[in-house]
């Protein structure tokens, strides 16, 4: 039985979707998996950025029409409570801007290059440690970061954009000389994601930037991530994450499952009844 048939025929309460991101296939086949489950009136939890980055508004409407939840905490910053923070603790606030370092691999490579390694040496180390994505070009060409800032924009700012829609820059052309010159200016080179409202539209980007040593983003090295959230009612909120592992990603999925259990499923299900 293949995945689509299982989704359509098996009995379940929640479908957990953990396939890898495909930029080339525009989020498929994961989007189809999610759509089929929501159409059947089943809750969905995904750690795959594809459905959120390429089809969130459509899937959100489908979830609402079928009175089920479509949750995605692990898609950005692993298990750090990004979406749950906005959902549960920023009620009444409108998110007006987002920025941050959202890709661990590129941040790790740039940090290693500051110690004197070449790009290829730092990339090899990242691959040996299992830090890099299965498709390395998603990381170094900025596609993973683009998918994450788009996912954040779609969920938190009501955008309806996809990764190819935004301005994107990678790190593959960064040289040791550029890193050295940046450090001489007492700055750090970082791959920064941005999203803001311009003329009533959400505009997102991923680009290399030199930031001062006292900037909050400069303190995030290695595999760390950081997100700055701007709202209409509060000052900037920062979420930081240090060297996440697969346990962090797994926790994000578990957190979403517990959310569904607590709010949308019966507290004690009698397994003797269908």
pLDDT range class, residue 135, cuts 50, 70, 90: confident
CATH of the domain at 26: 3.40.50.720
Considering the candidates 25, 36, 60, 148, report the single residue annotated as catalytic: 148
The domain of 200 spans 92-243
Q: Which of 93-102, 177-186, 220-229, 238-247 has the lowest mean pLDDT?
A: 238-247
- Strand runs labelled E in 199-234: 201-212, 225-231
Residue 180 pLDDT > 70, yes or no?
yes
- How wide is the angle at C-alpha 149 spanned by C-alphas 217 and 261, nearest 5°? 105
148 as an active site residue: the answer is: yes
pLDDT range class, residue 190, cuts 50, 70, 90: very high
Same domain, yes or no: 183 and 119: yes
Same domain, yes or no: 234 and 109: yes
Tracing tokens 């691999």 back to the chain, one arrives at 105
DSSP state of 19: P
Same domain, yes or no: 229 and 193: yes
Same domain, yes or no: 99 and 27: no
Say which residues have a Cβ less than 8 Å from residue 92's Cβ, sequence separation at least 6. Answer: 233
Best CA proximity match to 120, nearest among 138, 101, 140, 104: 140
Rg over alpha carbons for the chain, rounded to the nearest Å, is 19
Number of domains in the chain: 2
Same domain, yes or no: 31 and 7: yes
Domain assignment of residue 269, yes or no: no
Best CA proximity match to 156, nearest among 21, 252, 56, 16: 56
Measured CA to CA in angstroms, residue 202 lies from 96, 97, 230 at distances of: 9, 9, 14
Same domain, yes or no: 124 and 230: yes
CATH of the domain at 168: 3.30.360.10
Domain assignment of residue 274, yes or no: no
Residue 267 pLDDT > 60, yes or no?
no
Same domain, yes or no: 7 and 21: yes
Same domain, yes or no: 10 and 28: yes
Same domain, yes or no: 103 and 63: no
**Quick one: tokens of 61?**
């409407």
Mean pLDDT of 154-170: 97
């Amino acid at each position: 039985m293949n995945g689509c048939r299982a989704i359509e025929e098996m009995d379940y309460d929640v479908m957990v979707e953990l396939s890898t991101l495909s930029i080339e296939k525009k989020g498929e086949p994961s989007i189809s998996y999610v759509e089929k489950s929501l159409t059947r009136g089943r809750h969905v939890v995904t750690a795959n950025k594809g459905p959120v980055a390429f089809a969130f508004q459509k899937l959100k409407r489908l979830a609402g029409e079928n009175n089920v939840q479509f949750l995605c905490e692990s898609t950005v910053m692993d298990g750090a409570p990004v979406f749950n923070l906005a959902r549960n603790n920023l009620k009444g606030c409108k998110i007006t801007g987002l920025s941050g370092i959202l890709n661990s691999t590129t941040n790790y490579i740039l940090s290693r290059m500051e110690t004197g390694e070449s790009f290829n040496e730092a990339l090899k180390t990242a691959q040996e440690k299992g830090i890099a994505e299965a498709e390395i070009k998603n990381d170094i060409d900025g596609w993973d970061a683009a998918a994450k800032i788009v996912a954040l924009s779609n969920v938190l700012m009501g955008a309806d954009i996809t990764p190819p829609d935004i301005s994107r820059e990678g790190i593959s052309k960064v040289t040791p000389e550029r890193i050295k010159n940046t450090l001489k200016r007492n700055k750090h080179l970082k791959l920064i994601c941005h999203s803001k409202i311009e003329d009533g539209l959400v505009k997102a980007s991923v680009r290399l930037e030199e930031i001062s040593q006292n900037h909050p983003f400069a303190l995030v090295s290695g595999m760390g991530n950081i997100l700055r959230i701007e709202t209409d009612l509060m000052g900037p909120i920062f979420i930081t994450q240090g060297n996440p592992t697969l346990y962090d990603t797994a926790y994000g999925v578990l957190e979403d499952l517990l959310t569904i259990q607590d709010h949308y499923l019966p507290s004690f299900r009698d397994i003797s009844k269908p």
